[in-house]
Structure 1
Amino acid sequence: MGRGPDARFFERLPSLTVGALAERIGGEILRGGDRTVSAVAPLPTASEGDVAFLGDRRFLPALAESGAGCVIVPASALEAVPAGAAVIVSPEAQAAWARASLLFHRPIPLSASLTVEQAAEDDSVVVEPGVILGDGVRIGRGSRIGANTVIGPGVQIGRDCVIGSNVTVGFALIGDRVRLLSGARIGEPGFGAAGSRGGPIDVPQLGRVILQDGVSVGANTCIDRGAYDDTVIGENTKIDNLVMIGHNCVIGRNCLLAANTGLSGSVTVGDGVMFGGKAGVGDHLSIGEAARVAAGAGVLQDIPAGETWSGYPAKPLRQFLREAVWLAKQASGKARAGKAGND
């Protein structure tokens, strides 16, 4: 089995037989009802005790190669199910998998608060009034936690960090010399919903946030935890105020993200990338190393390394400027023609 949800943040609930699971999530057992399963996982990393699902036929090759002990699939995908897997058939496979997630994994609640002495590496740690430290929190030497901040259970904070007031941090591992300005929200659940007959349901978010050494996060910025894997912010990356980073994003080292930038889920960003203010990036895209995304750009396709893109939809800068000049000339010509016709 793969890493699975981190035990510092998620409680593992009792195992179930596939038959009992099917009854509780709404599905028809095709085979393997007496097999025992104890966790959920994506198709590529699932193993014998895990439940995986197929939500899109694009992932049929991953289904055929999966080591999952049980798979939840629509009837149309049965031909790709591995011979050794137990099978639950459901027309809403992702929603059924989301229900299964709730049966196997539960976020550890903030039910107790540690003292500074219990959480801190030594007496150089400063914790201002009103701070809440969940069970299992560890804070490295020389770090300071601002007033009324909440650090959730299991969070690990490195040395010489500065965390502002009214910050919330959960499901996160934080390196050394990290700065989180006031109101930052680290580790909230990512936006994920699955369709069902009763309407969309939330997909549990079982991953973490990793902030590497030297990262800065601006005021009121939100960084969602991963859906199953991790959201990762690379070393020395600087993030402005009011930035939104979706679940499963992986951002490289030494990147700059200006205010109001928004990255959808599962975006991969290389080292040294720069985003201007209000830049937006669609999900599952890749931004190459040292690329630049202009302010207000709307990125709907991958950007190669070293290129500068602008506009909506974003295009290479020279192409965008040529098209802008051409449009301006067309508009100017029509305006002159209309004026001449009125004379």
Structure 2
Amino acid sequence: MGNEHRLLTLIICLVLGGGLIAAVLGASRAVGPHAGTASGRPAPSDYVDIRDVPRGSAATPVPGPEGSAGSVVVECGRNEQGHYNEDNLVVSPGLPGGAHHTHAYVGNLSTNAMSTAASLDAAATSCTGGDRSTYYWPVLRRPDRPGTRPHEGSAGHGNVGEILPEASVVVEFRGNPVSKVVPMPRFLRGMTGDAVAYTAADEADVRARWGCSGSPDRATTRYPRCPTGDRVTRTLVFPSCWNGLDTVGATHRSHLRFPAGNGVCPKDTFPVPELRLSLAYEVPPGLNVALDSFPEQRHSPKTDHAMFVNAMTDRQMAAVVDCLNAGRVCRI
């Protein structure tokens, strides 16, 4: 009887102790700009009037005489096909639902967690020029309206509300300001941004860039409040210095790195076309939008990110490189 009593006492202590530890950990994670957002929604401090954002934060290096000053826009639509899922082929291939939030896609119409080089190469695409690459990013929602379509409720993990469709999507490649670019290899995988920025130890991988269509010289890592008539914008710029060996890296970043501020690539890397995705949304004035995220990231705007897999043919990629290196403006 004494042993049973001691065992019961031990169990009660463990339960109470576990609850105390959980409370302490929860309190420590709540400290900071998101304190008090127990619902997991963005905090008031996550929003900013675009007029309060300093000008000039989006400056880029001026191309030099040896640079590749061209640009190429790939016409891929704005996901009119309604291609959504909770997969992430770049980060968690082979794991359906591995993203724990919903991604929107343009380009390859078959992309999911189980995609392979062969399946991507054989699939249809939304790109009018035949580019079978896949380009994708987390959806933006309006939490004030319940989602009624199947893909709006399939993510779970606090990602709720009506998905805001993209009013425009621009898939663009740019050159390098200080040198010519070389082709990306087929099926190169890349990512930009930090999906766990809210809980990360630092902001080294944060690449979120939010803005308003009427103020292209103002960029922020917070959700912008735009004047009536402006669209909310997201600009996602990818790393463009390839190690010359791998199409995928152990950390999903090591094989493809960002250049320095002046455009110079790190040692032992080669400049490839710089991909940037420019997204725009019609957001009613005063509406608090929320980015899909992992549950512990609380929809922080700093967690904005995107991925791509290059499935262009060698001929298509050569055309992109030729245009960039010749300094032309092209559309394919």
Q: Shared fold (TM-score greater than 0.5)?
A: no
TM-score by length of 1: 0.21
Higher relative contact order (CA 8 A, sep 6+): 2
TM-score by length of 2: 0.22
Larger strand share, 1 or 2: 1
